[in-house]
Structure 1
Amino acid sequence: MTASRPIVVFGSVNIDVCAYCDRLPRPGETVHGTGYAMGLGGKGANQAAAASRLGAAVEMVGRIGDDAFGAMARRRLADFHVRTGHLLSDPGNPTGIAVIGVESSGENCITVVGGANMAVSAGDVAAAGDLFGSAAVLLLQLEIPQDAALAAAAAVRAGGGRVILDPAPAPHGGLPADVFRAVDVMTPNETETEALVGIRPADPRDAAAAADRLAERGLSVAIVKLGARGVWYRGPAGSGFVPPFPVTAVDTVAAGDSFNGGLAVALARGDDLPAAVRFAAACGALATTRAGAAESAPTAAEVAALLG
């Protein structure tokens, strides 16, 4: 990976408002919290921060509002050394926000209001010039309109880059067939896998069956994330399982985003699929050991220490 072939992230940028509590409230219930925090979020921004903290050159493409939250988001991305020259300020829409409840076990529930993220369009791809065609890897999610994401995928593949899609949030009824053929790698977690192929994987055997179904739909590489139970991967050269790393989870909010950021970095530098998935799994595990979204992403030195 060189500076001329960056990792490009095309996706959502939010400000997260996190409330911490001993347990999440049931419907209609109010609970006392133990603290709160505000920070950078959105799956796109989280993945950009994660890849950048690992030492990659990262370009963030998307939209924020022309408001205080937008200014905060741009400033925080710059703090992570993410390039924001193609992050548009949209005067007609507010910056996206996420309201997140996190209980002491690390489990969470999230309500996202997309705001400017939902105004992202295929025109934003064209406006970025040759950026997408120069990408080594493109990171996509489903927190922006699908047609815009597919336009970006086509531009990156035309330039010889690889496309990783985090299918989150997975729509009810799954995804159309052309999405599976438009990307190179897909990384669903348990609930997303169930939405896509009707299998909620609880162990490697279930994950292998789900990955086979994803491949039947035209996907080249399927990576099924099982949270604290590990990761199953399937690609043209074979399949395998990466067991979980022994860490103590504090907050799982952006573990999947750190996984994807790590995966992009590993693939961009030429790692084979088994090594890339193991590296990504270590990134995701470390992200659970601290609070926050983008702020929880580990450094390359921390990942190297965990991998031994």
Structure 2
Amino acid sequence: MSEQMATPLIVSFGSVNIDVTARARRLPKPGETVHGESYGIMLGGKGSNQAAAAARLAASEGVRVALVGRVGRDDFGARARRELEKFGVDLSPLREDPDHATGVALIGIESGTGENSITVIGGANMAVDESDSVAAEEWFGQTQVLLLQLEIPEVAVLTAAQRVRDAGGTVILDPAPVPNGGLSDAVLGAADIITPNETETGLLTGITPTTAKEASEAAKILQEKNIRRVLIKMGSRGVFWRDGADEGFCQPFVVKAIDTVAAGDSFNAGLAFALAKGQSFREAVCFAAACGALATTRNGAADAAPFYAEVCALIEQQGVR
């Protein structure tokens, strides 16, 4: 591995799921059975989605992407590996758990309204612990940018963040899902960059921003938790960022959105990729915003992630900087 590490390395440490999605005219009521219209089985979990999106950007661009986490020794685990390998994700540090099944999300979608009902069985994801960081120590020691989310236990998140920061890497935290009661100061302080959306910002700060001014106020509250760089994803309103005392706003990209499921994961993957390529923070924010926007133009999660050339074309076309 040492010879390959001459190139920048992005590592995503987080959940790996298989999503089983059923679409029906309407969702069933308790105790009711309805006939569905279609179903799909696909890659899911924020850890694997962000790894896949980053790897799609990194193809032929001199950046390596790896995934740390756990899958079970089952058919869904094998399926997740096959899907991730198609994107070019290095799965060498992904562990197989002999005692827990691969994580599964059972998703019901009402075709007319888009309303959904989701049941997540964490499985091997919830068994991730400090030993996973120990097993991936060599990887974390070479990581330029670490992508973290909150679909694995907190202790594992903290351990990985500390190892990467000790080695001089940058830690990006996607604070999703925000648990009841918010996040501990330890988790917030473990990140170099935090990327909440409006709802998550509201849960973390008490301010649900709809304007750049409100986003600035929320960002200052988060910076008081020892996070230097804050990005607030405001959907179709754009992206607010604050880096120390410097702040700015990336205007929204104009696209025809049909599915927003992949937007957040593609955003974070794009941010990690741009920083690994040496872009300034301001440039990286707008690159990430373009990734998130393009992901809304396709259905699905990992499969909706854009390619590098598409992102560059959108930025050039709309002149957003």
For normalisation by structure 1, the TM-score amounts to: 0.93
Unaligned segments of structure 2, at least 5 residues? 317-321
Q: Is the 8 A contact 1:106 1:250 kept in 2?
A: no
Structure 2 CA distance for partners of 1:227 and 1:112, relative to 1, 3 Å: farther
CA shift, 1:180, in A, is 2.0
Q: What is the rounded CA distance, in whole Å, between the counterparts of 1:108 and 1:233 in structure 2?
A: 31
Q: What is the rounded CA distance, in whole Å, between the counterparts of 2:34 and 2:294 in structure 1?
A: 29
Q: Secondary structure at the match of 1:279?
A: helix
Matched, 1:258 2:266: yes
Q: What residue identity is the alignment partner of 2:19?
A: D
**Pair member with larger Rg:** 2
Which residue is equivalent to 1:231? 239
Structure 2 CA distance for partners of 1:301 and 1:159, relative to 1, 3 Å: same
Structure 2 CA distance for partners of 1:205 and 1:109, relative to 1, 3 Å: farther
Which residue is equivalent to 1:80? 87
Q: Secondary structure at the match of 1:36?
A: strand
Which residue is equivalent to 2:319? none
Matched, 1:36 2:43: no
Q: What is the rounded CA distance, in whole Å, between the counterparts of 1:207 and 1:26 in structure 2?
A: 39
Q: Is the 8 A contact 1:13 1:95 kept in 2?
A: yes
Structure 2 CA distance for partners of 1:178 and 1:303, relative to 1, 3 Å: same
Structure 2 CA distance for partners of 1:228 and 1:158, relative to 1, 3 Å: same
Q: What is the rounded CA distance, in whole Å, between the counterparts of 2:35 and 2:312 in structure 1?
A: 39
Q: What is the rounded CA distance, in whole Å, between the counterparts of 1:61 and 1:278 in structure 2?
A: 27
Q: What is the rounded CA distance, in whole Å, between the counterparts of 1:240 and 1:187 in structure 2?
A: 14
Q: What is the rounded CA distance, in whole Å, between the counterparts of 2:5 and 2:273 in structure 1?
A: 11
Matched, 1:202 2:205: no
Q: What is the rounded CA distance, in whole Å, between the counterparts of 1:27 and 1:168 in structure 2?
A: 28
1:70-105 residue CA offsets vs partner (Å, 9 max, x unmatched): 000011111111000111111111111123345567
Which residue is equivalent to 1:295? 303
Which residue is equivalent to 1:62? 69
Structure 2 CA distance for partners of 1:240 and 1:122, relative to 1, 3 Å: same
Structure 2 CA distance for partners of 1:105 and 1:188, relative to 1, 3 Å: farther
Which residue is equivalent to 1:17? 20
Q: Secondary structure at the match of 1:100?
A: strand
Q: Secondary structure at the match of 2:101?
A: coil
Q: What residue identity is the alignment partner of 1:58?
A: V
Q: What is the rounded CA distance, in whole Å, between the counterparts of 2:108 and 2:232 in structure 1?
A: 25
CA shift, 1:282, in A, is 0.4
Q: What is the rounded CA distance, in whole Å, between the counterparts of 1:106 and 1:236 in structure 2?
A: 39
Structure 2 CA distance for partners of 1:58 and 1:149, relative to 1, 3 Å: same
Q: What residue identity is the alignment partner of 2:206?
A: G
Matched, 1:89 2:92: no
Q: Is the 8 A contact 2:137 2:163 kept in 1?
A: no
Q: What residue identity is the alignment partner of 2:151?
A: E
Matched, 1:279 2:287: yes
Q: What is the rounded CA distance, in whole Å, between the counterparts of 1:297 and 1:178 in structure 2?
A: 31
Q: What is the rounded CA distance, in whole Å, between the counterparts of 1:49 and 1:197 in structure 2?
A: 30
Q: Report how many residues are paired.
A: 307
Q: Secondary structure at the match of 1:83?
A: coil
Q: Is the 8 A contact 2:229 2:242 kept in 1?
A: yes
Q: In angstroms, what is the RMSD of aligned CA positions?
A: 2.1
CA shift, 1:226, in A, is 1.1
Which residue is equivalent to 2:197? 189
Q: Is the 8 A contact 2:28 2:34 kept in 1?
A: no
Match of 2:225 among 179, 202, 217: 217
Q: Secondary structure at the match of 2:39?
A: strand
Which residue is equivalent to 1:5? 8
Match of 2:164 among 156, 160, 176: 156
Q: What is the rounded CA distance, in whole Å, between the counterparts of 2:263 and 2:29 in structure 1?
A: 26
Structure with more relative contact order (C-alpha pairs < 8 Å, separation 6 or more): 1
Q: What is the rounded CA distance, in whole Å, between the counterparts of 2:22 and 2:304 in structure 1?
A: 16
Q: What is the rounded CA distance, in whole Å, between the counterparts of 1:267 and 1:21 in structure 2?
A: 41
